[in-house]
Each structure stands twice: as C-alpha cells, then as structure tokens.
Amino acid sequence: MPDTELTKKENSSKQSETQVLPSGEDLGGAVWSVLETITDPEVPVLTITDLGIVRDVKINGELIEVTITPTYTGCPAMDMIAMNIRMALIENGFTAIKITTILAPAWTTDWMSEAGKQKLIAYGIAVPNKKFTIAADGVECPQCKSTNTKLLSEFGSTACKALFQCQDCKEPFDYFKCH
Amino acid sequence: MQKDLTYKSASQVPPQEGFREAYLLHLADTTLILSQRNSEWCGHGPILEQDIAITNISLDLLGQSRNFYQYATQLINNTTNTKAAKVLPSGEDLGGATDEDKLAYLRTEREFKNLLLVELPKGDWGQTILRQYLFSQYQYLLFEQLQQHADEQLAAICTKALKEIKYHVRWSSEWVIRLGDGTTESNARMIKAIEEIWRYTGEMFIPVEYETISGIDFSALKKQWEEKIKEVFEEATLSIPEKIFMQTGGKTGVHTEHLGYILTDLQYLQRTYPNSQW
Ligand SMILES: [Zn+2]
C-alpha cells in the first residue's frame, strides 16, 4: 500500500539522519513510531497500531517494555508479531526490549483505528459493524456498498474473518468480524 | 475408586494443593485433544468452506489450550511447595522448570485429564458435528460462569475464548439441524451419532475432586445445557436418549483406547527427537 510505503520511507530516512536515540519523553514517541510501521502478517494492509494490538509502551531507563494483546486466542500471527516488534526495535537502535502479552481486557474490534478501517475497505475487506455482533446477511459490500449480501461461512481465510458474497455485484468478500 | 489417580501421593498432599493446576490441565488437555481430533479434517472436509470452518475451530481450541497450559506452567514453576509441584505431571521427570510443550508432549495417557468425549474418533461428519455442538454448548455455559472466577487469569482466558465459542455454538448447532432435519440418510446418521456419543456426555457434569475449585454448580449447569440441547434437537427432529449409562474416567486419567493412539500421533516428534523445536 502506498501509504505504508511512505511512512516507512520517512521513518527510515529519519533514522539515518539521527543515529543518536532520543531521550526522555521523546523516547516513548520514538518507540511508538517504530511500532506504527509494523504490519499484521495476516492482514498486511493494517499495522499493529491500526489493529489496537499494542496496549502499552513503558520506558524504564534503558528497558523498553511493549505490552501486546492477541486479536484471537489461537492467532498464529502473535508470535511473529512479537518477533517483528523486537526486530524493528533492534533495527532502530533499541537493545533492551521486553514484550509482554496480556489477555485482559480482551481485544475488541472497537480498538481498530479509523485509518485502519479505511485501509481495510480500500483493500476489499468489510469492516466490523456493531449491527452484526455475530456475522449475518447484510454486511455492506466493500465493492459496491450494497447491503444485499449473503454470509457464506462464518469462518474465513484467517480467524478474524468471515466469508460473504454480494448478491448485487456478485463479488465474494471477507468481513472482519466484530469481536 | 479412581479418585486418587490424579494425586499419586494423595495421603501426603493436603486436599486443596494442586487442585488449581489439575483443573487448568483438565481444561488444557480437553481443548488440545479436541483440537487435534478436529484437525484430522484438514484437507478432508466435505466442502472447502466447511473444511476451513472446522480447522478454524481447531485453531481456536489450540489457542485456548496454550493459554491454559501457559498459565498452569506459571503456577507449577512458581510453586514453593514441591509436593504440590510433584503431583502434577507425575511419572515424567520434567527436569526442573516445565513449559507448555512439555505438558502437551511429554505427559502420558494416564496423566491426561481430558473429557472422554473429545478423544472419541472423528467418525463421519455427523459425529464430528454432533460432538462439537454438545461440547461447544457445554463450554459456552461453563466459561460464561468462569468469566466471573476469582482467579483473574482463568477468568481472562475464558472471557477471551467466549467470543470465539459463540461462533462454534452457532456453526455446529446449525449443522445439527441441517443434518437431523435433512435427508433420510443424514437423519439416520445423526441418530447413529447420538447412539455413539451420548453416553460420553454425562462426564461433563460429574465433577471430580479438583473441580471444586471451579466453584461451578454442576447440576444447574447440566440443566441449562440440556435445555439448550433440547431446543436444537427439537428443531433437528432428533431426540435426547433417556436413562443411559454414562462413561466417566477421563478427568482422572482413565481413558478409552482411543487416547493412546491420538497421543502417539501428537507426541511422536517430541518423543522421537527429544527437545526438537520449530
Ligand atoms: Zn457488491
């Protein structure tokens, strides 16, 4: 996605200009801006901050502590996300890193950012809709915006998605389940 | 008679010690074994969407299982009471600190505390569906209560899992209805599935000693569960068998012959190549 590419480039050029790590309050901001570049391995259009997976960043002297929460209990991407966070922080000069996973409060699609939702729609995935706390016919088609849609399967290509078909434009599409 | 199997040295260990760990292992083993069973459908589902559905459910169950094992690991490793630690994964020398993999891959049949229901062979699609529905409906009602448990980590795992179980219940109940109220063939297969499986459902509501820490009123839970099952069965034109002898033993390590085979499959790699990692 062009947007993501742009942020990445900006970020890497920023890094090459300043080899010295920012200190104090800036440090937290610097960590967050690194985290904002890490994408979800299964829905690569979204970053982990778009998804609301990162719950907290704490700076303790040298130690950077990042707290994350899984979207789904069995999400196989979680280990990879934790590793990617570590790698990205190391690449950006941070060395003492602790990544903690918490389960409560349980992740909810409410934590997904507005920007993230717009990216999902542009990618062809219908966004979580409060009207459908459990996936059902009528989720808006991301292609033609019709609500004349049919649930094909509540289980899709990844744990977070359900499979739909639009009855108007006939396109099948994924729906990011409300969770 | 089977009461002491979980605690080999029951006489030396105060009754409450190790209950929480044992209960977590019961929850972990149950979800692990069902996940493993369902994953046998991977690439063999009746149609692509349903193949994906059953394997998604497997993945959710595996995730729950990992959470329970990880938490059990934490408790076992932090315990200062060596007696309590010893009664847990008995029989195997865990070499000090344990971890989720050791708990899943290095415990023997008699140490597994899963429900008998989940170790039964996958059977045909009807049997898989029926077992999933009977289990998911039970798990939903059970976890709904465990969400309120005083143990915050146990409550957190259950709260998170419920969001997924909601989908398992809906999906499996719809299939029970579709097959029960379907063709003559599908109806006959569902009746056969009930005959095969029903006698393994009683165990869910017959608590063993360590389950006292769950704080669950099992007879009330059973009533709630039966009401839900009855609704779906009625729509599926199926009936609940009456007065059937119920098999028990899984919770205390006394299993059907099927568990040994599934563990052989599951644990093969770790047993053959000890300490191998991904
Ligand atoms: Zn459409």
Task: Give the single-character DSSP code of B274.
Answer: T
How buried is residue A150: exposed, middle or buried, by Cβ count under 10 Å (0-12/13-18/19+)? Answer: middle
Alpha helical stretches, state H, B109-183: 116-119, 125-146, 152-180
- Residue closest to A126 by CA, chosen among A149, A93, A100, A94: A149
Helix, strand counts (H, E) of chain B: 10, 0
pLDDT at A25: 65
* Closest chain B C-alpha to A137 CA, distance in angstroms: 14
Strands A172-176 and A161-166, sheet pairing = antiparallel
A152 Cα–ligand 1 center, Å: 14
pLDDT at B174: 96
Which residues from A are below 8 Å from B61, CB to CB? 74
Contacts of A31 by beta carbon, 8 Å cutoff, 6+ apart:
A57, A59, A64, A66, A89, A94
Beta bridge partners of A149: A166
Domain total in chain B: 1
**For residue B89, pLDDT beyond 50:** no
* Alpha-carbon span B24 to B251, nearest angstrom: 11
Has residue B10 been placed in a domain?
no
Task: Give the single-character DSSP code of B155.
Answer: H
Has residue B8 been placed in a domain?
no
Instruction: Kindly list the domain boundaries of chain A, sorted by start residue.
Output: 7-108, 124-176
- Indicate which CATH number applies to the domain containing B72: 1.20.1260.10
Computed on alpha carbons and rounded to an integer, the radius of gyration of chain A in Å comes to: 18
pLDDT at B92: 45
The answer to whether A33 and A15 are in contact (CB under 8 A) is no
Q: Is CATH 3.30.300.130 the classification given to domain A7-108? A: yes
pLDDT tens per residue across span B57-69 = 999 999 999 999 9
A175 HSE (CA, 13 A, CB side): 32
B249: left (phi over 0), alpha (psi -120 to 50) or beta: left
- Indicate the pLDDT class of residue A55, thresholds 50, 70 and 90: very high
pLDDT at B99: 86
Interface test with B, best of A55, A67, A83, A103 (most B CBs within 10 A): A103
Of A25-29, A40-44, B144-148, B164-168, the least confident: A25-29
Mean pLDDT of B27-36: 98
pLDDT at A23: 62
DSSP letters, A3-69, are: HHHHHHHHHHHHHHH--SPP-THHHHHHHHHHHTTPBPSSSTTSBHHHHT-EEEEEEETTEEEEEE-
Mean pLDDT of A28-55: 93
How buried is residue B248: exposed, middle or buried, by Cβ count under 10 Å (0-12/13-18/19+)? Answer: middle
Whose structure tokens read 């800036």?
A: A26
Protein residues within 5 Å, CB atom, of ion ligand 1: A 141, 143-144, 146, 166, 168-169
C-alpha dist (Å) from residue B75 to A54, B22, B81, B107, B154: 26, 11, 11, 17, 12
A140 Cα–ligand 1 center, Å: 8
Q: Is B166 on the interface with A (CB under 8 A)?
A: yes
Residue A84 CA, distance from chain mean position = 13
Which residues from A are below 8 Å from B156, CB to CB? 102-104, 106
Mean pLDDT of B248-268: 97
- Indicate the pLDDT class of residue B13, thresholds 50, 70 and 90: very low
- Residue closest to B26 by CA, chosen among B38, B36, B34: B34
* Alpha-carbon span A36 to A8, nearest angstrom: 9
Which pair of tokens denotes residue A86? 């570590």
* Alpha-carbon span B32 to B115, nearest angstrom: 11
User: What percent of chain A has a predicted confidence (pLDDT) above 70?
Assistant: 86
* Closest chain B C-alpha to A77 CA, distance in angstroms: 12
Phi, psi torsion values for A44, nearest 5 degrees: -60, -10
pLDDT at A24: 61
CB atoms within 10 A of CB A151: 17
Residue of higher predicted confidence among A125 and B4 = A125
Mean pLDDT of B101-124: 95
**For residue B83, pLDDT beyond 70:** no
Residue of higher predicted confidence among B91 and B245 = B245
Q: What is the mean pLDDT of chain B?
A: 89
Residue of higher predicted confidence among B214 and A73 = B214
Mean pLDDT of A148-170: 91
User: Do A104 and B167 count as a contact with CB atoms less than 8 A apart?
Assistant: no
pLDDT tens per residue across span A70-120 = 988 888 888 899 999 999 999 999 999 999 999 999 999 999 999 999 999
Residue of higher predicted confidence among A77 and A31 = A31
User: How much is the pTM?
Assistant: 0.86
DSSP letters, B58-80, are: HHHHHHHHHHHHHHHHHHHHH-S
**For residue A11, pLDDT beyond 50:** no
* Alpha-carbon span A14 to B193, nearest angstrom: 64
Whose structure tokens read 């789904």?
A: A72
**For residue B81, pLDDT beyond 60:** no
Q: Domain containing B58: what range?
A: 16-207+214-272
Interface test with A, best of B100, B153, B154, B160 (most A CBs within 10 A): B160
Strand order in the sheet with A149-153: A125-126, A172-176, A161-166, A149-153
User: Do A153 and B49 count as a contact with CB atoms less than 8 A apart?
Assistant: yes
* Alpha-carbon span B196 to B127, nearest angstrom: 8
Nearest beta carbon to residue B60 from set A72, A104, A106: A72
ipTM of the predicted structure?
0.78
Q: What is the mean pLDDT of chain A?
A: 85
C-alpha dist (Å) from residue A39 to A16, A80, A156, B247, B249: 21, 11, 20, 49, 47
Residues 104-163 of B with CB under 8 A from A: 152-153, 155-157, 159-161, 163
Strands A63-68 and A172-176, sheet pairing = unpaired
Task: Tell me how many residue pairs between chain A and chain B have CB atoms under 8 A apart.
Answer: 70
